[in-house]
């Protein structure tokens, strides 16, 4: 069985926003770690951070399980973790992005071979077996490329972005398109790295650290209309784009940059599609002292407000400790802020779930995970969690947390890496017969059949070998997504589901 390492940026989104932003893969994983495609109605970017992909054979379904190993002992009575979906060998592969398009699960990263297939950094699962995508992409020198982002158009075209120089014998600079048969360059490509892609309203938005020959104003952010590149006014003269979120008439851009189109924006801005102009989102974000500001996650609230989580202190003169809300005209501290970074946000109707490295949120002594009902933060038993929750998803009408942690349930039984919260009590998934994983869970998700998928950096789930990815299929059954698994090692995984 093979193990593929995946390290993802945690970003949980509202279910109504699946077509515009990356959601934790845990949210679309079934209980056995496979992706429930039937639950995915639109093209959605999935964030596999913290999950490993298990793929034992070419005919093994992709299965995601948590990623950071922390030796644990399988529960002696655990009979619900199945090895049929788990890894069998220890092939290291870096997976950086995942999308689902037209029923196909497409992965990108940094790998030459996948389950014996020569893939060159991209491959896909067609529902019955893994397949290479044409000749893949490589560095110009022939070395291993890095595919950092994938995005699907409504017609099924899949765009590939990253750091590479050719596909087969054809020059292909850092961005390409797969039309179902062959991979071809997108014009002459870009000079530099592509970190983020978002397809919206017949336009492909591209972010990263790059320039485009012949398009002087296409700096670090640009758009492709199918025939030519368009600079978004003067772009970003200095800095890097790491995140894109398209919503209605705006494309939100986040990263590490001070200005965009000569506007001082401080790491976040919005492109108005109708007026073709950049808009400041207030004063952006600043940190304390010389520290750098980081935006880790974005989600859209039920009323349309943009909610940001990360590591920052202020917006202008306003205090916005690590969590902020943009109402279209100004930033405000969301729920009183937190004393530590926010790494994941899940918005479900009028309720927000967050996790991160905090010990106090909204001036309440609540750590690691919390629920906001619109007026009050509620403890979710975070004081029982020894470690960090990195991914949150709603599962079986309960909150499911994944990460690197331990929760003592009894004097004799401790659950690790994944647990359910019913509003009062933490329990193990599938009852106390499975005590979690031996590593880290970074992403979780459910499919249309209610199956849970988990991905991360781990080698065992319960009592079976399941590296990097797993799924929970029914009331008490865990199984591997395939026998190989994924070894999580990358920095970002994006998934589009159509």
In the predicted structure, residue 138 carries a pLDDT above the cut 50: yes
* Residue 480 tokens, joined: 């591997």
| Confidence at residue 43, expressed as pLDDT on a 0 to 100 scale | 52
Report the range of poorest mean pLDDT among 180-189, 210-219, 324-333, 464-473.
464-473
Question: What digits encode the pLDDT tens for the residues 289-339?
Answer: 777 787 777 788 889 899 888 889 999 999 999 999 999 999 999 999 999
**What is the arithmetic mean of pLDDT over 430-459?**
73
Report the range of poorest mean pLDDT among 99-113, 211-225, 396-410.
396-410
**What is the arithmetic mean of pLDDT over 214-219?**
93
Q: How far is 254 from 243, CA to CA, in rounded Å?
A: 5
Token pair 């429930």 in the structure block, residue: 36
Centroid of chain to Cα 245 = 12
Do residues 261 and 232 touch, judged by C-beta distance below 8 A? yes
| Confidence at residue 130, expressed as pLDDT on a 0 to 100 scale | 84
In the predicted structure, residue 8 carries a pLDDT above the cut 90: no
| Confidence at residue 493, expressed as pLDDT on a 0 to 100 scale | 33
Q: How far is 452 from 471, CA to CA, in rounded Å?
A: 5
| Confidence at residue 57, expressed as pLDDT on a 0 to 100 scale | 64
The 3-state secondary structure of 248-286 reads: CCEEEEEEEECEECCEECCCEEEEECCCCEEEECCCCCE
208 beta partners: 194
Q: How far is 157 from 178, CA to CA, in rounded Å?
A: 6
pTM, 2 dp: 0.63
Question: What digits encode the pLDDT tens for the residues 73-128?
Answer: 333 323 233 332 233 334 456 778 888 888 888 888 898 887 778 999 999 988 77
Residues 6 or more apart from 375 whose CB is under 8 A from it?
none
80 beta partners: none
Question: What digits encode the pLDDT tens for the residues 219-278?
Answer: 999 999 999 999 999 999 998 888 888 888 999 998 889 999 989 999 899 999 999 999
In the predicted structure, residue 192 carries a pLDDT above the cut 90: yes
Domains of the chain as residue ranges with CATH: 2-488 (2.130.10.10)
| Confidence at residue 55, expressed as pLDDT on a 0 to 100 scale | 62
Q: Of the candidates 81, 90, 82, 104, which has an alpha carbon nearest to the alpha carbon of residue 52?
A: 90
Q: Which residue has the higher pLDDT, 157 or 58?
A: 157
| Confidence at residue 412, expressed as pLDDT on a 0 to 100 scale | 58
Mean pLDDT of the chain: 78
* Residue 84 tokens, joined: 């049929």
In the predicted structure, residue 369 carries a pLDDT above the cut 80: no
* Residue 476 tokens, joined: 């008490």
């Amino acid at each position: 069985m093979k193990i593929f390492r995946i390290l993802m940026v945690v970003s949980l989104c509202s279910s109504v926003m699946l077509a515009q932003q990356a959601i934790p893969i845990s949210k679309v994983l079934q209980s056995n770690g496979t992706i429930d495609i039937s639950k995915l109605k639109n093209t959605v970017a999935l964030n596999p951070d913290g999950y490993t992909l298990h793929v034992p054979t070419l005919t093994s379904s992709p299965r995601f399980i948590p990623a950071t190993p922390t030796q644990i002992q399988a529960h002696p009575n655990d009979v619900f973790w199945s090895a049929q979906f788990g890894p069998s060998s220890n092939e290291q592969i870096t997976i950086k992005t995942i999308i689902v398009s037209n029923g196909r699960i497409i992965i990108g990263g940094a790998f030459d071979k996948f389950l014996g297939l020569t893939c060159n950094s991209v491959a896909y699962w067609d529902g019955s077996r893994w397949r290479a995508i044409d000749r893949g992409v490589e560095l110009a020198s022939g070395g291993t490329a890095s595919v950092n982002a994938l995005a699907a158009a409504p017609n099924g075209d899949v765009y590939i972005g990253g750091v590479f120089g050719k596909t087969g014998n054809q020059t292909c600079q850092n961005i390409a398109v797969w039309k179902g048969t062959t991979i071809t360059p997108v014009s002459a490509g870009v000079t530099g790295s592509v970190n983020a892609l978002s397809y919206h309203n017949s336009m492909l938005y591209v972010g990263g650290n790059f320039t485009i020959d012949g398009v002087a104003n296409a700096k670090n952010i640009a758009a492709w209309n199918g025939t030519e590149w368009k600079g978004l006014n003067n772009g970003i003269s200095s800095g890097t784009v790491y995140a894109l979120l398209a919503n209605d008439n705006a494309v939100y851009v986040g990263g590490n940059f001070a200005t965009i189109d000569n506007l001082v924006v401080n790491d976040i801005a919005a492109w108005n599609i109708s007026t073709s102009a950049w808009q400041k989102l207030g004063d952006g974000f600043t940190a304390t002292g010389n520290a750098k500001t980081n935006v880790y996650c974005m989600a859209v609230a039920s009323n349309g407000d943009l909610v940001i989580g990360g590591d920052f202190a202020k917006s202008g003169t306003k205090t916005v400790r690590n969590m902020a809300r943009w109402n279209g005209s100004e930033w405000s501290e969301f729920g009183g802020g937190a004393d530590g970074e926010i790494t994941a946000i899940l918005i479900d109707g009028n309720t927000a779930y967050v996790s991160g490295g905090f010990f106090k949120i909204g001036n309440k002594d609540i750590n690691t995970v919390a629920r906001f009902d619109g007026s009050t933060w509620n403890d979710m038993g975070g004081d029982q969690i020894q470690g960090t929750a990195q991914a949150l998803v709603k599962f079986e009408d309960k909150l499911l947390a994944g990460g690197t942690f331990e929760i003592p349930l009894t004097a004799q039984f401790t659950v690790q890496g994944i647990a359910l919260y019913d509003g009062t009590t933490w329990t193990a998934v599938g009852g106390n017969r499975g005590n979690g994983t031996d590593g880290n869970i970074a992403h979780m998700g459910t499919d249309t059949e209610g199956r849970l998928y988990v991905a991360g950096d781990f080698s065992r789930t319960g009592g079976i070998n399941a590296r990097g990815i797993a799924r929970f299929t029914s009331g008490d059954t865990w199984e591997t997504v395939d026998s190989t698994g994924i070894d999580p090692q990358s920095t970002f995984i994006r998934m589009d589901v159509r």
